[in-house]
Amino acid sequence: MKKVRNWRWLRLAVPIAVVLAVFVTTAVLHAFQQADPADNDYLNPDSQAPIGSARLAEALRSEGVKIRKVATTFEASTTLWAQPNSTLFVTAPEFTDVEHLTEERWLPSGSRVVLVRPDNGFLDEAGWPASTDGERWTAAAPAPGCDLFTSPAAVRKLAYRTEFTSCYDGGVVEFPVGEITIVNVVGAADPFRNDRLDEHGNRDFALNLLGHKNQVIWLDRHERDRWPTSDGPPVTDRPAPDGLGDGIGTPEPEETYDDSGDEPESDETRSGEAESGSDSEDEQPTPTAEPDGAAQQAREQANAFPPKAWAVVLLVLLAGAALAAAAARRLGTPVAERLPSRVPANETMLGHARLYQRGGSRGPSLRILRHTSRRRMTEHLGLPPDATDEDLAEATGLPLERFTEVFDPESPPRRDSHLVAATKKLRDLERDVLNEGETQ
């Protein structure tokens, strides 16, 4: 019986497959669209590519900020150490040598460090008082929410939590390291990119962040960095690279403080405020942040699209639900009925046949055929059922050998071809016997 193929499973499989395909496509496209820190253009101060930062570097220069591009962690640390009144801008923290970069002795007082999207591993290893607090699908541009910045900027992709100053809902955090080094952590690379510099208040934000000091040490690194272990000075406990540290190292921080005038002071006062205020204000964010964490995250996700888009989605969903409801109600259910049996009467017989074949029962099969054939012959010749080969030969006039060959073989057929040959012989004999009878 031909088996009808059942396609009903498609009803379940197709919607799931469509949803999965949408998920996978979205994930792939999203991953594809992300700027890759390993790309040489990524936040490169000399690159005009969309993900480069040439425009920002130009803007900084026009503000009178000197840009010094360095390529290794070692170079960055030593340069910062030599010129403490600078901002160290780390575009790809994950490629740097965390242990040495964040070592307090390499961060002279008065310096400033800006990190773009450091992950939790980096922050943990550094032992800095900040941790990540969820990641968004795209960068959001919330209002600053603190005094450090004035314009909204697209900084909140990776959010951070700190007990010190937090801006842009955790998109930017600021905390002191050691005594006086200020570290800024930015949750997204968008404000520094050529293609996004003019969006929101990105330009103001970037200039404000990097324009505190006269010089920006721009660590432009696109592959994993290792601290040169063969160098003597870096691994000794006295941080005096290039022989400059001794002379400039100690007085510089003091000078930096004085030099930078309002800015560092205000920085310090701000951070001081943040610190002092943490007694009173800390309780406000902490208890609200803990239980409302999930809710806040959901709210943030909802903010990814404007309300109009959500309203349209809701309406489309409602229409879909109405369509489903309209299609689901049947005009009368199907009527069930008992079906008659479809088993053919010769099912058992065919089963036996297959069993003989599978079991290679050539001998028994041939024996059955012989028995039937012999009975037909004896009936035809009018002989008793137990007539011998000699009786048959005598009655038909055929040679006795033919009967003995067919009915008393020396061995049962061992192969299918033997079985077919033996059956052919049997059939020929039977035909001859029956014809013989007829001619007689």
Q: Identify the residue among 17, 322, 388, 390 touching other proteins (CB under 8 A).
A: 322
Segment 299-305 long-range contacts (CB within 8 Å, at least 24 positions apart): 300/134, 300/136, 300/140, 300/169, 301/136, 301/137, 303/140, 304/136, 304/137, 304/138, 304/140
Q: Which residues have CB under 8 Å from 265's CB, separation 6+?
A: 257
Q: Which is nearer to other proteins, 29 or 420 (CB)?
A: 420
| d(C-alpha 165, C-alpha 275), whole Å | 8
Q: Which is nearer to other proteins, 280 or 333 (CB)?
A: 333
Asked if 345 interacts with other proteins (CB under 8 A), we say yes
Question: In DSSP terms, which residues pair with 165 in a beta bridge?
Answer: 174
- With both helix axes pointing from N to C terminus, report the angle between 202-210 and 54-62 in degrees, rounded to the nearest 10: 60
Q: Compose the 215-254 pattern: x for residues touching other proteins by CB under 8 A, - for all others.
A: ----------------------------------------
Asked if 386 interacts with other proteins (CB under 8 A), we say no
Asked if 428 interacts with other proteins (CB under 8 A), we say no
φ, ψ for residue 378, nearest 5 deg: -65, -40
Binding segment for other proteins (CB under 8 A), chosen from 37-45, 150-158, 229-237, 334-342, is 334-342
Tokens standing for 257? Answer: 């403080």
Q: How would you class 232 by CB atoms within 10 Å of its CB: exposed for 0-12, middle for 13-18, buried for 19 or more?
A: exposed
- Residue numbers 286-315 binding other proteins by CB under 8 A: 307-308, 310-312, 314-315
Q: Identify the residue among 272, 319, 399, 404 touching other proteins (CB under 8 A).
A: 319
Binding segment for other proteins (CB under 8 A), chosen from 90-98, 156-164, 238-246, 336-344, is 336-344
Q: What is the three-class DSSP state of 132? A: strand
| d(C-alpha 382, C-alpha 376), whole Å | 10
- Cα distances from 282 to residues 46, 147, 177, 268, 287, in angstroms, run 42, 16, 19, 18, 9
- Residue numbers 41-70 binding other proteins by CB under 8 A: none
Asked if 416 interacts with other proteins (CB under 8 A), we say yes
Beta carbon of residue 297, minimum distance to other proteins (angstroms, whole number)? 22
Asked if 2 interacts with other proteins (CB under 8 A), we say no
Give the residue among 185, 214, 188 at the shortest CA–CA distance from 65: 214
Q: What is the three-class DSSP state of 9? A: helix
Beta carbon of residue 261, minimum distance to other proteins (angstroms, whole number)? 48
In the DSSP assignment, the letter for residue 219 is E
Q: Identify the residue among 4, 12, 16, 327 touching other proteins (CB under 8 A).
A: 327
Q: Which is nearer to other proteins, 364 or 399 (CB)?
A: 364
Beta carbon of residue 336, minimum distance to other proteins (angstroms, whole number)? 8
Beta carbon of residue 249, minimum distance to other proteins (angstroms, whole number)? 60
Q: Give me the half-sphere count of Cα atoms (radius 13 Å) on the Cβ side of residue 71.
A: 3
Q: Which is nearer to other proteins, 22 or 315 (CB)?
A: 315
Q: Which is nearer to other proteins, 278 or 361 (CB)?
A: 361
Q: Which is nearer to other proteins, 6 or 333 (CB)?
A: 333
Q: Identify the residue among 13, 22, 368, 400 touching other proteins (CB under 8 A).
A: 368
Q: Identify the residue among 236, 301, 357, 435 touching other proteins (CB under 8 A).
A: 357
Beta carbon of residue 436, minimum distance to other proteins (angstroms, whole number)? 20
Q: 141: how many CB neighbours lie within 10 A of its CB?
A: 21
Q: Identify the residue among 58, 146, 356, 409 touching other proteins (CB under 8 A).
A: 356
Handedness of CA 241, 242, 248, 253 (dihedral sign): negative
Helix (H) or strand (E) holding 167: strand 165-167
Beta carbon of residue 301, minimum distance to other proteins (angstroms, whole number)? 18
| d(C-alpha 275, C-alpha 31), whole Å | 38
The contact set with other proteins (CB under 8 A) reads: 307-308, 310-312, 314-316, 318-320, 322-323, 325-327, 329, 331-335, 337-338, 340-350, 352-354, 356-357, 361-362, 364-366, 368-369, 371-372, 416-417, 419-420, 423, 427
